[in-house]
Protein backbone atom coordinates (compact mmCIF):
# COMPACT_ATOMS: atom_id res chain seq x y z
CA UNK A 1 0.00 0.00 0.00
CA UNK A 2 2.97 2.35 0.45
CA UNK A 3 3.63 2.62 -3.30
CA UNK A 4 0.10 3.62 -4.32
CA UNK A 5 -0.06 6.23 -1.54
CA UNK A 6 3.19 7.83 -2.68
CA UNK A 7 1.99 7.81 -6.27
CA UNK A 8 -1.28 9.41 -5.23
CA UNK A 9 0.51 12.23 -3.40
CA UNK A 10 2.68 12.92 -6.45
CA UNK A 11 -0.37 12.98 -8.74
CA UNK A 12 -2.27 15.43 -6.49
CA UNK A 13 0.75 17.76 -6.28
CA UNK A 14 1.09 17.83 -10.06
CA UNK A 15 -2.61 18.64 -10.52
CA UNK A 16 -2.38 21.52 -8.03
CA UNK A 17 0.67 22.98 -9.79
CA UNK A 18 -1.04 22.81 -13.20
CA UNK A 19 -4.13 24.53 -11.78
CA UNK A 20 -2.06 27.25 -10.20
CA UNK A 21 -0.32 28.02 -13.48
CA UNK A 22 -3.63 28.02 -15.34
CA UNK A 23 -5.13 30.58 -12.93
CA UNK A 24 -2.26 33.10 -13.14
CA UNK A 25 -2.82 35.90 -15.68
CA UNK A 26 -0.22 36.25 -18.36
CA UNK A 27 2.15 39.19 -17.98
CA UNK A 28 1.69 41.57 -20.94
CA UNK A 29 4.55 43.95 -21.60
CA UNK A 30 3.56 47.60 -21.76
CA UNK A 31 3.96 48.75 -25.32
CA UNK A 32 5.63 52.20 -25.38
CA UNK A 33 3.74 54.96 -27.19
CA UNK A 34 5.22 57.09 -29.97
CA UNK A 35 7.87 59.69 -29.22
CA UNK A 36 5.90 62.89 -28.40
CA UNK A 37 8.42 64.85 -30.51
CA UNK A 38 8.22 62.64 -33.60
CA UNK A 39 7.07 65.52 -35.80
CA UNK A 40 9.06 68.26 -34.09
CA UNK A 41 11.89 70.06 -35.81
CA UNK A 42 15.50 70.57 -34.67
CA UNK A 43 14.32 72.88 -31.87
CA UNK A 44 12.86 69.88 -30.04
CA UNK A 45 16.43 69.39 -28.74
CA UNK A 46 18.59 71.85 -26.83
CA UNK A 47 21.26 71.66 -29.54
CA UNK A 48 18.77 72.99 -32.10
CA UNK A 49 17.37 75.78 -29.92
CA UNK A 50 16.21 78.85 -31.86
CA UNK A 51 17.65 82.23 -30.91
CA UNK A 52 15.30 84.69 -29.21
CA UNK A 53 16.08 88.12 -27.79
CA UNK A 54 15.45 89.44 -24.29
CA UNK A 55 12.62 91.96 -23.90
CA UNK A 56 11.13 90.88 -27.24
CA UNK A 57 7.97 88.68 -27.31
CA UNK A 58 7.71 85.60 -29.52
CA UNK A 59 4.78 83.43 -30.57
CA UNK A 60 4.96 79.65 -31.00
CA UNK A 61 2.93 76.50 -30.41
CA UNK A 62 3.26 73.02 -28.88
CA UNK A 63 1.07 69.94 -29.36
CA UNK A 64 1.44 66.54 -27.74
CA UNK A 65 -1.46 65.01 -29.81
CA UNK A 66 0.34 66.06 -33.01
CA UNK A 67 3.70 64.86 -31.60
CA UNK A 68 5.11 68.40 -31.45
CA UNK A 69 5.57 68.51 -27.70
CA UNK A 70 8.81 70.46 -27.15
CA UNK A 71 10.31 73.80 -28.23
CA UNK A 72 13.75 75.11 -27.10
CA UNK A 73 14.82 78.76 -27.21
CA UNK A 74 18.34 80.20 -26.82
CA UNK A 75 18.98 83.51 -25.07
CA UNK A 76 22.34 85.32 -25.06
CA UNK A 77 22.72 87.64 -22.05
CA UNK A 78 25.56 90.01 -22.87
CA UNK A 79 25.14 92.89 -20.40
CA UNK A 80 24.86 92.81 -16.59
CA UNK A 81 21.36 93.30 -15.22
CA UNK A 82 20.11 95.71 -12.57
CA UNK A 83 18.80 92.86 -10.40
CA UNK A 84 20.36 90.02 -12.46
CA UNK A 85 16.96 88.33 -12.76
CA UNK A 86 15.67 86.80 -16.00
CA UNK A 87 11.88 87.17 -15.80
CA UNK A 88 10.13 84.81 -18.24
CA UNK A 89 6.39 84.75 -18.93
CA UNK A 90 4.36 82.43 -21.14
CA UNK A 91 0.71 83.05 -21.98
CA UNK A 92 -1.19 79.93 -23.06
CA UNK A 93 -4.00 80.56 -25.57
CA UNK A 94 -5.87 77.29 -25.01
CA UNK A 95 -7.59 77.58 -21.62
CA UNK A 96 -7.76 73.79 -21.31
CA UNK A 97 -4.05 73.17 -21.86
CA UNK A 98 -0.98 73.26 -19.63
CA UNK A 99 2.52 74.10 -20.88
CA UNK A 100 5.69 73.72 -18.81
CA UNK A 101 8.24 76.55 -18.74
CA UNK A 102 11.80 75.67 -17.67
CA UNK A 103 15.17 77.46 -17.82
CA UNK A 104 18.65 75.89 -18.23
CA UNK A 105 22.19 77.25 -18.15
CA UNK A 106 24.76 76.86 -20.93
CA UNK A 107 25.79 73.41 -19.62
CA UNK A 108 22.23 72.10 -19.74
CA UNK A 109 21.70 72.22 -15.98
CA UNK A 110 18.13 73.15 -15.07
CA UNK A 111 18.09 76.34 -12.99
CA UNK A 112 14.43 77.32 -13.29
CA UNK A 113 11.53 74.94 -12.75
CA UNK A 114 8.05 75.39 -14.22
CA UNK A 115 5.25 76.49 -11.90
CA UNK A 116 2.14 74.31 -11.84
CA UNK A 117 -1.10 74.97 -13.76
CA UNK A 118 -2.38 78.52 -13.33
CA UNK A 119 -6.01 79.65 -13.59
CA UNK A 120 -5.32 82.65 -15.83
CA UNK A 121 -2.99 80.66 -18.14
CA UNK A 122 -0.13 83.09 -17.52
CA UNK A 123 2.96 81.40 -16.10
CA UNK A 124 5.79 83.47 -14.65
CA UNK A 125 9.28 82.20 -13.83
CA UNK A 126 12.00 84.44 -12.36
CA UNK A 127 15.54 83.01 -12.46
CA UNK A 128 18.64 84.48 -10.82
CA UNK A 129 21.44 84.84 -13.38
CA UNK A 130 24.94 84.99 -11.87
CA UNK A 131 27.03 84.91 -15.06
CA UNK A 132 26.73 86.43 -18.51
CA UNK A 133 26.44 83.96 -21.36
CA UNK A 134 23.99 81.64 -23.09
CA UNK A 135 20.83 80.31 -21.45
CA UNK A 136 18.01 78.09 -22.69
CA UNK A 137 14.23 78.10 -22.24
CA UNK A 138 12.23 74.91 -22.78
CA UNK A 139 8.51 74.88 -23.55
CA UNK A 140 6.69 71.55 -23.31
CA UNK A 141 3.10 70.37 -23.48
CA UNK A 142 2.62 69.00 -19.97
CA UNK A 143 0.12 66.17 -20.64
CA UNK A 144 -0.71 63.90 -23.61
CA UNK A 145 -3.87 65.92 -24.35
CA UNK A 146 -2.22 69.38 -24.20
CA UNK A 147 -1.74 71.60 -27.24
CA UNK A 148 -1.86 75.38 -27.65
CA UNK A 149 -0.49 78.47 -29.32
CA UNK A 150 1.46 80.61 -26.87
CA UNK A 151 3.38 83.85 -26.39
CA UNK A 152 6.74 83.97 -24.59
CA UNK A 153 8.84 86.88 -23.36
CA UNK A 154 11.93 86.89 -21.15
CA UNK A 155 12.71 90.29 -19.66
CA UNK A 156 16.23 91.37 -18.65
CA UNK A 157 16.67 94.81 -17.11
CA UNK A 158 20.13 95.81 -18.33
CA UNK A 159 22.40 98.11 -16.39
CA UNK A 160 22.97 101.47 -18.10
CA UNK A 161 26.39 102.06 -19.59
CA UNK A 162 28.78 103.47 -17.02
CA UNK A 163 29.97 107.04 -17.57
CA UNK A 164 33.66 107.42 -16.66
CA UNK A 165 34.19 109.69 -13.65
CA UNK A 166 37.05 112.19 -13.88
CA UNK A 167 39.71 111.71 -11.23
CA UNK A 168 40.27 114.64 -8.85
CA UNK A 169 43.35 116.74 -9.71
CA UNK A 170 46.55 116.03 -7.83
CA UNK A 171 47.57 118.80 -5.46
CA UNK A 172 50.19 121.05 -7.05
CA UNK A 173 49.45 119.73 -10.51
CA UNK A 174 47.84 122.12 -12.97
CA UNK A 175 46.68 120.18 -15.99
CA UNK A 176 46.15 121.96 -19.26
CA UNK A 177 42.48 122.57 -19.99
CA UNK A 178 41.11 119.88 -22.23
CA UNK A 179 38.53 120.78 -24.81
CA UNK A 180 37.00 117.59 -26.17
CA UNK A 181 36.07 117.71 -29.80
CA UNK A 182 32.39 117.85 -30.50
CA UNK A 183 31.05 114.45 -31.39
CA UNK A 184 28.92 114.50 -34.50
CA UNK A 185 25.46 113.08 -33.98
CA UNK A 186 24.74 109.92 -35.91
CA UNK A 187 22.38 110.51 -38.80
CA UNK A 188 19.20 108.51 -38.15
CA UNK A 189 18.26 105.85 -40.68
CA UNK A 190 15.20 106.04 -42.90
CA UNK A 191 13.55 103.41 -40.68
CA UNK A 192 14.24 105.47 -37.55
CA UNK A 193 12.87 108.62 -39.20
CA UNK A 194 9.76 106.73 -40.33
CA UNK A 195 9.02 105.56 -36.79
CA UNK A 196 9.01 109.17 -35.54
CA UNK A 197 7.37 110.82 -38.57
CA UNK A 198 3.79 111.91 -39.26
CA UNK A 199 1.77 109.53 -41.41
CA UNK A 200 -0.41 110.65 -44.32
CA UNK A 201 -1.71 109.48 -47.69
CA UNK A 202 -1.08 109.94 -51.39
CA UNK A 203 -4.12 111.40 -53.15
CA UNK A 204 -2.67 111.03 -56.65
CA UNK A 205 0.63 110.05 -58.26
CA UNK A 206 1.95 110.32 -61.83
CA UNK A 207 5.21 110.41 -63.76
CA UNK A 208 6.58 113.71 -65.00
CA UNK A 209 9.92 113.41 -66.80
CA UNK A 210 12.25 111.35 -64.64
CA UNK A 211 10.31 112.13 -61.44
CA UNK A 212 7.22 110.72 -59.77
CA UNK A 213 4.87 113.48 -58.62
CA UNK A 214 2.96 112.83 -55.40
CA UNK A 215 -0.10 114.82 -54.33
CA UNK A 216 -0.25 114.51 -50.53
CA UNK A 217 -3.08 115.02 -48.04
CA UNK A 218 -0.80 116.97 -45.69
CA UNK A 219 -0.18 120.70 -45.90
CA UNK A 220 0.67 123.80 -43.89
CA UNK A 221 -1.59 122.79 -40.98
CA UNK A 222 0.62 119.72 -40.39
CA UNK A 223 3.83 121.79 -40.48
CA UNK A 224 4.66 120.89 -44.09
CA UNK A 225 6.80 123.37 -46.03
CA UNK A 226 8.86 123.24 -49.22
CA UNK A 227 11.87 121.06 -48.56
CA UNK A 228 10.12 118.77 -46.06
CA UNK A 229 11.25 115.21 -46.68
CA UNK A 230 9.47 111.91 -46.25
CA UNK A 231 9.07 108.41 -47.68
CA UNK A 232 6.39 106.21 -49.19
CA UNK A 233 5.47 103.29 -46.92
CA UNK A 234 5.17 99.70 -48.15
CA UNK A 235 2.00 97.70 -47.54
CA UNK A 236 -1.30 98.47 -45.88
CA UNK A 237 0.07 98.73 -42.34
CA UNK A 238 3.30 99.22 -40.42
CA UNK A 239 6.04 101.72 -41.16
CA UNK A 240 8.37 99.91 -43.53
CA UNK A 241 9.79 102.39 -46.07
CA UNK A 242 9.27 101.54 -49.74
CA UNK A 243 12.63 100.91 -51.43
CA UNK A 244 13.69 104.12 -53.17
CA UNK A 245 10.48 105.83 -52.08
CA UNK A 246 11.97 108.93 -50.41
CA UNK A 247 10.55 112.27 -51.54
CA UNK A 248 10.82 116.03 -50.99
CA UNK A 249 7.93 118.52 -50.85
CA UNK A 250 8.24 121.11 -53.62
CA UNK A 251 4.99 123.00 -53.13
CA UNK A 252 2.47 123.60 -50.34
CA UNK A 253 -0.99 124.21 -51.80
CA UNK A 254 -3.00 124.91 -48.63
CA UNK A 255 -3.47 123.68 -45.06
CA UNK A 256 -4.30 120.13 -46.18
CA UNK A 257 -2.50 119.59 -49.49
CA UNK A 258 1.05 119.62 -50.85
CA UNK A 259 3.05 118.32 -53.81
CA UNK A 260 6.25 116.25 -53.57
CA UNK A 261 8.76 114.76 -55.98
CA UNK A 262 10.41 111.34 -55.76
CA UNK A 263 12.98 109.42 -57.80
CA UNK A 264 11.02 106.18 -57.36
CA UNK A 265 9.80 104.83 -60.71
CA UNK A 266 6.55 103.40 -59.36
CA UNK A 267 4.77 103.27 -56.01
CA UNK A 268 2.51 100.40 -57.09
CA UNK A 269 -0.58 100.16 -54.89
CA UNK A 270 1.14 101.81 -51.94
CA UNK A 271 -0.62 105.02 -50.94
CA UNK A 272 0.66 105.67 -47.42
CA UNK A 273 3.46 108.10 -46.64
CA UNK A 274 5.27 109.45 -43.61
CA UNK A 275 6.81 112.93 -43.48
CA UNK A 276 9.85 113.80 -41.37
CA UNK A 277 8.91 116.89 -39.38
CA UNK A 278 11.64 118.54 -37.32
Both 57 and 116 in a single domain? yes
Q: Is 16 part of a structural domain of the chain?
A: no
Both 77 and 131 in a single domain? yes
The parent domain of residue 263 ranges over 191-276
Q: Is 147 part of a structural domain of the chain?
A: yes
Both 133 and 217 in a single domain? no
Both 57 and 144 in a single domain? yes
Whole-model pTM over 0.85: no
Query: Half-sphere exposure (CA, 13 Å, Cβ side) for 208?
Result: 11
| Per-residue confidence band for 30, with pLDDT thresholds at 50, 70 and 90 | low
Both 102 and 207 in a single domain? no
Q: Is 252 part of a structural domain of the chain?
A: yes
Query: Is the predicted pLDDT of residue 1 greater than 50, yes or no?
Result: no
Number of H helices, E strands in the chain: 2, 15
pLDDT in tens, 152-189: 999 999 888 766 666 666 666 555 555 555 556 778 88
For the domain that residue 93 is a member of, what is the CATH number?
A: 2.60.120.380
Number of other CB atoms surrounding residue 159 within 10 Å: 11
Secondary structure E strands in the chain: 50-51, 58-63, 70-77, 85-92, 99-104, 110-112, 122-128, 133-141, 147-155, 198-208, 211-216, 229-233, 241-254, 257-262, 272-276
Q: Is 107 part of a structural domain of the chain?
A: yes
Q: What mean pLDDT is predicted for residues 36-52?
A: 94
Beta strands 70-77 and 50-51: pairing type?
A: parallel
- β-bridge partners, 254: 257
Q: Is 63 part of a structural domain of the chain?
A: yes
Q: What is the pLDDT of residue 67?
A: 96
Task: Look at the chain and report how many structural domains it folds into.
Answer: 2
- Name the percent of the chain lying above pLDDT 70: 80
| Degrees, nearest 5: CA angle 266-269-273 | 80
Query: Is the predicted pLDDT of residue 102 greater than 90, yes or no?
Result: yes
Q: What would you report as the CA-atom Rg of the chain, rounded to the nearest whole angstrom?
A: 35
Using left for φ > 0, alpha for ψ between -120 and 50, and beta otherwise, residue 135 falls in: beta
Query: Is the predicted pLDDT of residue 18 greater than 90, yes or no?
Result: no
Q: What is the pLDDT of residue 105?
A: 96
pLDDT in tens, 209-257: 999 999 999 999 888 999 999 999 998 888 899 999 999 999 999 999 9
Distances (CA, A) of 124 to 86, 87, 89, 110: 11, 7, 5, 16
Q: Is 3 part of a structural domain of the chain?
A: no
Both 141 and 200 in a single domain? no
Q: Is 235 part of a structural domain of the chain?
A: yes
Decide which of 155, 179, 202 is a domain's last residue. 155
Both 122 and 75 in a single domain? yes
Q: Is 178 part of a structural domain of the chain?
A: no
Amino acid sequence: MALPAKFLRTFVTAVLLIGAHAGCPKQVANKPGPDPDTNSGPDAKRGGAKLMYVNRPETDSVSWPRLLRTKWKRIDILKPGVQNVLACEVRIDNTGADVNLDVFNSLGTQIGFSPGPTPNKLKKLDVQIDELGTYFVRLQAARPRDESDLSLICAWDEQPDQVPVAEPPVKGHHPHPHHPEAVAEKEPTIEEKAEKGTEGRIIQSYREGDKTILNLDKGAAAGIHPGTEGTVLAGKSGREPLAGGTFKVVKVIDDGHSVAESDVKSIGRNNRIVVFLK
